[in-house]
Amino acid sequence: MTSDVVPPNRPQLPSNFANELWQRYASQQKRLRPEPTQPSSSEISPEDYTTFTTHLKSSTRILALFGAGLSAASGIPTFRGAGGFWREYDSMTLATPSAFSKDPALVWQFYNYRRHAALNATPNRAHIALAELAKNKPNFLAISQNIDGLCQRAGHPAENIQPVHGSIFSNRCTKCPYVEHDNFKDPLVPAFALPDDVDPSDAKFPLKDIALGDLPRCPDCSALLRPNVVWFGEPLPQGAVDRVENWMATDNGGIDLMLVVGTSALVYPAAGFIHTARARGARVAVFNMEEPTEEGPTSRLKDGDWFFQGDAAVLLPELLKEVIGVVPGV
């Protein structure tokens, strides 16, 4: 037998208690739910911000291609377009095997300047934002054409990045199999030392006349060392290409999003990576300072793709913040 009598030691609850409790819970959840955000940068339209961030958050497999423009905000010259000269030399003519064979001292002084610039640079907010994206999206792979090491210094996980043009801090022998990695000595050899007030990129300062014997030499066979980077006319390392292709082929080859940062990707294989990603379902987002002026994959965007014009160090932290949080100023 049951009784409807409430024991005297049990407190009476208000008749509207359940309704008030629900309203209080709903109010609390509303406060906890993040409000829809809008871009704080005038370089990003609200519509592009919303469509991109919505797709980013739902994306699982993300491929990225990094070019020289990613490091521009760190003070690293891109050596492209109007800035394509080092002193009076076209930088593209220095980055060749024939240039090294003809004048190794000149080419080494060019790369010594680039090593010094990279060592004294700091990863910018775009490097940091992309490193954080890699940590938040495990199936993210970045193909980096940069040799300056700034992505790695920003904390980009090694398993989420594949350099394809080598590293300016690696050298290899021109005769034997010797290769050295992570050589951050500056200057690399005493002959490269310069006074603090001399800018080697300024043509008003004459280049040093360096003897062949004073250039970097192999410790195993004494032959000339060369920067372990990919020069124009040389193939990409096969291991790097295999890793990218294997990543593309996993999970049935589906790719949700492709980020193209700081490169026009006019030449292969860079252009091919974009074509392949799109063929496997990716929407493409391009980040560059200038609109493409030549026909290529970044100039042939499709409905559902994005082109964000401006400094990657401004755009990327803003567009990735709903996944990675706020990137502090550096």
Reported confidence tier of residue 245, pLDDT bands at 50, 70, 90:
very high
State the pLDDT at residue 179.
98
Find the helix or strand (DSSP H, E) in which 31 lies: helix 17-32
The answer to whether 151 is a known ligand-binding residue is: no
The H-or-E segment that residue 118 falls in is: helix 104-119
Residue 32 has pLDDT above 50, yes or no: no
Between 303 and 43, residue with greater pLDDT = 303
User: Does 137 score more than 80 pLDDT?
Assistant: yes
Identify the CA nearest to 315 among candidates 134, 72, 117, 84. Answer: 72
**270/263 Cα distance (integer angstroms):** 9
Q: Is the pLDDT of residue 31 over 50?
A: no
Task: List, in order of start, the domains of the chain with CATH numbers.
Answer: 43-75+123-165+234-330 (3.40.50.1220), 77-120+167-229 (3.30.1600.10)
CB 292 within 8 A of CB 307: no
| pLDDT, averaged across the chain | 89
* Statement: residue 58 has pLDDT above 80: yes
pLDDT greater than 90 at residue 14: no
Burial of 217 (0-12, 13-18, 19+ CB in 10 A): middle
Min mean pLDDT across 238-242, 309-313, 325-329 is at: 325-329
Predicted pLDDT at 1? 47
Report the pLDDT value the prediction gives residue 6, as an integer from 0 to 100.
Answer: 47
pLDDT band at 17 (very low <50, low <70, confident <90, very high): low
Q: 307: closest CA among 255, 254, 257, 259?
A: 259
Q: What is the C-alpha separation between 317 and 330, in angstroms, rounded?
A: 12
Residue 221 known to bind ligand: yes
Choose among 161, 143, 159, 140: nearest CA to 65: 143
- Count Cβ atoms within 10 A of the Cβ of residue 214 and give its class: 0-12 exposed, 13-18 middle, 19 or more buried: middle
Classify the C-alpha dihedral 243-64-74-122 as positive or negative.
negative
Catalytic site residue from 127, 165, 181, 275 = 165
Q: Would you call 165 a catalytic residue per the annotation?
A: yes
Give the pLDDT band of residue 24 (cuts 50, 70, 90): low
